[in-house]
Structure formats: C-alpha cells, structure tokens
Amino acid sequence: MAGNPKRRSAGPDLTLLDAVALRDRIAAGEVSAVQLLEACLERVDARDHEVKAWRTLDRELALKRAGEADAWRKKGRPTGALHGVPVGIKDIIDTRDLPTENGTPIDAGRRPGRDATVVARLRSAGAVIMGKTVTTELAFYTPRETTNPHNPAHTPGGSSSGSAAAVAAHMVPLAVGSQTNGSVIRPAAFCGAVGFKPSHGLISRTGMLLQSRPLDTVGVFATTIEGAALIADVLAGYDQGDPDTRMEAPPRLLDLARSEPPLKPLFAFVKQPAWDQAEASTHEAFAELTQELGEQCDEVPLPDVFAEAIPAHAALMLGGFSRNLQRYYERGRDQLSERMRSAIEDGHKVTAAQYLTALDWRDVLYAGLEKVFERYDAIITPATAGEAPAGLESTGNPAFCTPWTLLGLPAVSLPLMQGPNGLPLGVQLVGPRGNDGRLLRTANWLVRHLNAQITSEAARQAS
C-alpha cells in the first residue's frame, strides 16, 4: 500500500453517506470528488491497518482521477451515473492502470493490458477506481490478510473479503466482487454490508478470472439497497465478450428498488438443505423474523430433490477449476495452497457425464421453485449458518448460498440482525431468475417495514 501523506480533512461524515446521496451531492456541486476521495483515504488510514481490505491502493492516481472528474463537471459536461464516486475492485478483475494479482503469488505484479468490461463501464459512468481489494487465493477458500471490520479475530468471509470489509468499514461506498458459490452473499453477511448477487448473465465477466462459466457471477457491495442498485445498473448489460449476457432492455434497478410494491410482498421462508448446519441462534433469529412478518410470511418446504443441489454445484465448480485454473497448477503448483491443489485435482476426476448431469439439475430444481415464485415475491432464508466464525484460517460455510448460485437466481444479503456475539447476521432474499429489480424492491420494502416496527416499538416503550 502507498504511504500516508498528510491531507486536508474533507469531513468524516462523507464516508457515512450512501452512494446515491454522494453521487447527488457531487452532481449538485455540494462536495467535490477530491473531497470525497480524501475522506475515504482518511478512513483507510484509520481502519485499514487492522482490516487489511486493500491489496493495491495508488493514492496519487486515485486523486488524479478524482481531480479529472471535478474538472469535467466544472466545464458543464454531461456526467455519468457514478460521477466522482469511489469504487473498490476485487483483485480478480482486470484494471489497466493497477495490478491484478488474483490472490496468488503466481500472478504477483501482473499488469493487464486493458480493463475488464465492468471496470470500463464504471469509468464511463464517471466512477473513480480507488484501488484493488483483497481476494482469497484464486477466489476460492484459502484466506489472505483481510479481517472482519467488527472484530479482527473473526473472518470477513470470502472470496470477496476485501470488497465486503472495505464497504462495511466505510472506506469506500461501493465495491465490486464475484460469486461462484457464496463469495458475495457470505462476506456481506459477515461484515454487515448489503451484498447483491444478480441473476447469472446480467453483468459481464469479460476480463475477470474465470472459475466456472455456469456459476461465475459479478456482484456488488454497498451500504444500502439503493446504492447496490445504482452500481448494478451501471454494470448490467450485454457484452459480446461474455456469451451468457443477454440483449435486453436496461434493468432500471434503482428506479424499481425505490418504487412501492403494488401489494405488500409475500415471503416464503425456506429451510434449505443446509438448515441443520445453522446455529441455534440463527434458528431463533429467523423464528422471530418470520413471526414479525406474520401473515406476509409462510414456511414453504423445498422438494426433497433439492438435496442434489450441493453435489451438482460441486461438479460444475470443480470441473470448471480443472479447465480454467489448470494453468496455475502447471505453472506454479508449489505456490498454491494444499486446498487449491486438491480442488483442481478433484476437478480432474469430474467426468463429462457428471458435468452434463449437473447442468441438467439446474432446470429440474428451478422447475421446483416456479410455483413458489408464482405466489411469493421472494424466498427469505439465512445468508450464512451464523455470525462470522472466530479465526482467520477459514472463510466460513457457503452452503446457504449454493442452491441459488447453482440456479443463477438473484440474491441479496441484508444486515438486519445481530448474533449472540454482536456480529452481523445477514438475511438473504432470493428472487426469480431475471427479476432483479423486483427482488431489490422487495428487499427495500422489508428494510423499511422492519425499521418502522423498531421505531414504533421504541415509541411505545418510551410512552
């Protein structure tokens, strides 16, 4: 990380505003992009020696880009949806002016020749790329240096550990990550950020480390649902470099997230196959949550066949490793962790028949959800087994994300609860494939509803 030069204070309260408010204040000339970036860098100075969310942070380059954003606006030129707003980029996503090292010493000092599509879209929208956030080794399970911003003795989750921690610690208002199993939802839940994994294919993966084409999904982190919608709007859209993206109208996620549902949403509380792995405190918290929702929430059993989700996902993920990460195995096997080597070797054992069968399971299992989504606006379920576990040798259990990633469904983790140790406990909402805006609208309604209930209860107790 670069040094810590003295800077004029830009006001610590800026780092506590969400991305939409910051974008609007910059557009109105109430605050400059440089002032906002300086506030973020001050927050980095105060927190990152402990959190260690940033892999590469070129302060002078970021300040230069922020200054260019201010100069552009002052000339009266049109500005983009994220003009002047800093964004952190997971270090498996290529940036032309910063290293992309993929969480492995094998790629130390690697300098891509061009930006990933998502980075190019951020720049076109006026965002300031603040730096690269820490990822686990090749975006798999082996942790690196990042800690949980609420307690450094606990994991931040993974693999998008740095992106989640940086946003949760208010070092940057927005960050980009990725999910192949639980790599957006899990760290968002552990760190207390909003994490949004959109439908598979909504956002291009061109220029990103590929693990498994049927599973890999770009996701985002923010402090609010509206912030997540804002950046996802910028990133979404067709890209000829990614065959899984689709030619369709822009999703208008922010507009939908802000809108009122025509009817009060209905939630399907699902005890997915990993339910018995959840901690007792998670069981209790979700019992209270579903009771609070009352008639708007029903417990809905999943078909028994959903037990096939875990092995099907494993076949696709490990089979993808065998193909897409083999070059690391060949170039630097001794520099890979034992866990990473074993995963690639296990991928070698996945047969073509097993892989194709796993692909078929996606349609079979999704058919089992169609009736659920005909009646209910969203599935409500834990994001993780519980709070972030103590220790930094693991990133936690991703099983509560696995079925939804396998099926390519949009999911969002909301920091609505706390566990017994005072750490965040995420609530995961899952929506029908392709209905990302509706999911975010439902999530926004849930947050407002629960906040209103808390305010009402506080007023009742005070009277």
Say what the pLDDT of residue 456 is.
72
The predicted structure's pLDDT at residue 12: 47
pLDDT of residue 5: 37
Helices 225-235 and 117-124, packing angle to 10 deg = 110
What pLDDT is recorded for position 288? 97
Identify the burial level of 8 via C-beta atoms within 10 angstroms of its C-beta, where 0-12 means exposed, 13-18 middle and 19 or more buried.
exposed
Q: Rounded CA gap, 46 and 86, in Å?
A: 17
What is the domain partition of the chain in residue ranges? 87-463
Say what the pLDDT of residue 438 is.
98
For the domain made up of 87-463, the CATH class stated in words is alpha beta
Q: Which of 160, 161, 163, 183 is catalytic?
A: 183
Q: Which residues pair with 87 in a beta bridge?
A: 129, 174
Q: In terms of C-beta density within 10 A (0-12 exposed, 13-18 middle, 19 or more buried), how is residue 294 classed?
A: exposed
pLDDT reported for residue 11: 44
List, run by run, the mean pLDDT of 10-residue segments along the chain (463 residues): 40 86 97 98 98 98 98 95 98 98 98 98 98 98 98 98 98 98 98 98 98 98 98 98 95 97 97 96 97 97 95 98 98 98 98 98 96 97 98 98 98 97 98 98 97 78 74
β-pairing, 378-382 vs 297-299, is unpaired
Among 32, 52, 132, 159, which one carries the catalytic annotation?
159
Contact between 43 and 12 (Cβ < 8 Å): yes
183 carries an active-site annotation: yes
pTM of the prediction?
0.96
Asked if 161 is an active-site residue, the reply is: no
The active-site residue out of 32, 52, 90, 212 is 90
pLDDT tens readout for residues 96-134: 999 999 999 999 999 999 999 999 999 999 999 999 999
413 classed as catalytic: no
